[in-house]
Homo-oligomer: A and B are copies of this chain.
Amino acid sequence: MAAALERFLKSSTYLGEIPSGALLLNGNALYPWFIVVPHGDYTEWVDLPMELQQLLLTDINTLSAFLKGDDKVEKINVASIGNIVPQFHLHVLGRSSGDPAWPGPVWAHPDSKAYQEGEIEALKTRLRETLEGFVAA
């Protein structure tokens, strides 16, 4: 695994690869929260080669469609922020009006919950079955 990914793995789990890069799951189980990390030394969206931006656009669509399949998801948030970790990464996550941070942003919200045993494996199975272009780790 690339060194650039290691910084993310303090708070996330590596799920596998999608066309635009590594697919991570944020460790906060309060939200279905994916993080996409394209491989390469990029900081801003505009720094990504156009071919990679196209793959990212496709992955925004496939991840959003996956999140829409979750009855609890009422709104999808897509964001590249990176004020703390400058390595380019994109958040794609599901929100619901009952979640702790609603309607505020999840970033910097203090509440957190750990995943229970088996939950991440179950998610990976669902991704393997339904997320186009996903190759599980």
Contact of A105 (CB < 8 Å), options: B45, B75, B81: B81
Interface string of A68-86 (1 = CB under 8 A from B): 1000000111111111101
Enumerate A20-58 residues with CB–CB distance to B below 8 Å: 43-46, 53-54, 57
Residues of B within 8 A of A80 (CB): 76-79
Q: What size tier do the contact residues of chain A reach?
A: 20 to 34
Instruction: Label chain A's interface by main secondary structure.
Output: mixed
A85-110 contacts to B, CB under 8 A, are: 86, 95, 102-105, 107-108
Q: A60-B46, A76-B46 are in contact. Are A83 and B102 (CB under 8 A)?
A: yes
30 inter-chain pairs at a CB distance below 8 angstroms, sorted by A residue, are: A43-B75, A44-B64, A44-B68, A44-B75, A45-B60, A45-B76, A45-B78, A46-B60, A46-B65, A53-B57, A53-B61, A54-B57, A57-B57, A75-B82, A75-B83, A75-B86, A77-B79, A78-B79, A78-B80, A79-B79, A79-B80, A79-B81, A83-B95, A83-B103, A83-B104, A83-B105, A104-B107, A104-B108, A105-B105, A105-B108
Give residues in A with beta carbon < 8 Å to B.
43-46, 53-54, 57, 60-61, 64-65, 68, 75-84, 86, 95, 102-105, 107-108
